[in-house]
Amino acid sequence: MTLSSVRQLVVPNWPVLLIFVLLALAPVWSMYGGSDFTIRLLTRALILALAAVGLNFVLGFGGLVSLMHASFFGVGAYTVAILAHHDFNGDTLFGLPGTSNLLVSGPAAVFLALVFAVATGALVLRTKGAYFIMMTLALNQMLFFFMIALQQYGGEDGMQIYLPLHLSGYEFGSDSAIYYTVLIVLAFFVFLLSRLVCSRFGNVIRASSENEERLTAIGISPFHYKLVAFTISGAVTAVAGVLWAISQEYVSPADLSWIRSADLVVIAVLGGLVRVWGPLVGALVFVLAEYFLSDITVYWQLVFGLGIIAVVVLFPGGMLSVWATIRKINWGRAHDA
């Protein structure tokens, strides 16, 4: 079983609709019996899901193992936080005033992420395999250490967002409001990227991960396509960073360390790589596992790490073959008929 053989199923179908409906009902459920904490936990899962959806576009479909997506996440979160910080202080940044209006800081964050992604992508996409992975890892840490060095923005301690963030006056009154905002944004990007992977452009991206030599021989040089894909991917992850700043009202360098990048890869792999919405499942599993394991033991990372190792060792096809096995159990019979 290879990664590509189940790659045909990229269109969102009934399972994802079901998941979204259940998620939309979650705040109602939490009112009776659940708690605000449940909603905050789910919000965290959905934001990580969106970040990993962005990553998965290049990882699952383009075959690019990027370990720098936390840096795009960080660009999104820090842009919003820094603009809010200057708004709070009433001073300026490069002659421009700060703002807590997300209709300004949100697009600014995405724009900066686009610029950062184009610049770094143009560099890393010239390399392949292990080189690519190492370069992305190094560039991720470049931004990480840069943010730590910026003492005026909290350095290692991170920074609190003091003024309420708002959409031209509309403030998010409750955890549920933020939750629904995140859910809608996530659904929007899942839909957008689902269209994208089935388009001609998406075909080129999938083909480039299959066989670059062949793609070149039929007249398409993959580089520019991969650069566009990498940029889109980085921007989507940056949007997740913006949502992170909104929901946490706090950003720190830990949000953009390479460990977070690796977490996103794990989430995408847990989601099975071949579906645009896969990371949503991956993120729910990841966040819930993190929550319950850390409840049981302080050494939950040990358990989690062993879990990752066990899966990669026991299932040579990666997590994907685990899903494939499950799929076979459930639907194999119907498939053969």
Partner 1 sequence: MTLNEKIEKEPVLRLAGLTKRFGGIIATDHLDFDVRAGEIHGLIGPNGAGKSTLVAQIQGNLRPDEGSIIFEGRDITVEAPHRRAKLGVARSFQITSVFMGFTMLANVMMAVQAQAGHSMWFWKNTSMDSSLIDPAMELLELVGLTRSAQALAQNVSYGERRQLELAMALAMKPKLLLLDEPMAGMGRQDGGRMISLLETLKGRYSILLVEHDMDAVFTLSDRISVLVAGRCIATGSPEKIKSDAGVRDAYLGHKST
Partner 2 sequence: MTTGLFVEQSLNGLQLGVMLFLVTAGLTLVFGIMDFINLAHGSLFMFGAFLAATFVKITGIFWLALILAVLATGLIGFVMEFLVLRRFYHRSHLDQVLLTFGFILVFNDITRIIWGSIPLPMPLPEILSMPVQIMPGVMYPSFRIAILVLGLIVALCLFLIIERTRLGMWIRAGASDRQMTSALGVNVGLVFTLVFAAGAALAALAGIMSGPISAVQIGMGEPILILALVVTVIGGIGSVKGALIAAIMIGMVDTFGRVMFPPAISSILIYLLMVLILAFRPRGLFPANV
Residues near partner 2 (CB under 8 A): 3, 59, 65, 67, 123, 126-127, 129-131, 133-135, 137-139, 141-142, 145-146, 148-151, 258-259, 262, 265-266, 269, 299, 301-302, 304-309, 311-313, 316, 318
Residue in 4, 101, 176, 325 binding partner 1, rule: CB under 8 A: 4
Q: Which does 8 bind (CB under 5 to 8 A by kind): partner 2, partner 1, none?
A: partner 1
211 binding partner (options partner 2, partner 1, none; Cβ < 5 to 8 Å by kind)? partner 1
Which uninterrupted H or E stretch holds 160? strand 159-160
Residues in binding contact with partner 1, number by CB under 8 A: 30
Q: Which amino acid is at 144?
A: F
199-218 residues in contact with partner 1 (CB under 8 A) are 199-204, 206-207, 210-211, 213-218
Question: 35 is written with which tokens?
Answer: 């708690």
Task: Look at residue 4 and give the partner it binds from partner 2, partner 1, none, a contact being a CB closer than 5 to 8 Å depending on partner kind.
Answer: partner 1
Task: Determine how β-strand 166-167 pairs with β-strand 170-171.
Answer: antiparallel
What does 149 bind: partner 2, partner 1, none (CB cut-off 5 to 8 Å by kind)?
Answer: partner 2
Helix (H) or strand (E) holding 171: strand 170-171
Structure-block tokens of residue 95: 């002659």
Nearer to partner 1, 191 or 300 (CB): 191
Q: Pseudo-torsion of CA 146, 148, 149, 154, nearest 10°?
A: 130
Residue 63: which of 318, 329, 255 has the closest Cα? 318
Residue (3 or 215) nearer to partner 2, CB: 3
CA dist 296 and 294 (Å) reads 5
Q: Does 3 bind partner 1 (CB under 8 A)?
A: yes
Contact (CB, 8 A) for 319 and 311: yes
Candidate residues 118, 167, 220, 262; the one interacting with partner 1 per rule CB under 8 A: 220
Binding mask 81-120 for partner 1 (x = CB under 8 A): ----------------------------------------
Closest CB 111 distance from partner 1, rounded Å: 19
With CB under 5 to 8 Å by kind, the binding choice for 29 among partner 1, partner 2, none is none
**How far separated are the first and last CA of the chain, in Å rounded?**
21
Number of other CB atoms surrounding residue 306 within 10 Å: 10
DSSP tally for the chain: helices H, then strands E: 13, 6
Using CA atoms of 316, 321, 322, 324 in order, give the dihedral in degrees to the nearest 10.
Answer: -160
Q: Which residues make up the interface to partner 1 (CB under 8 A)?
A: 2-5, 7-8, 195-196, 198-204, 206-207, 210-211, 213-221, 225, 228
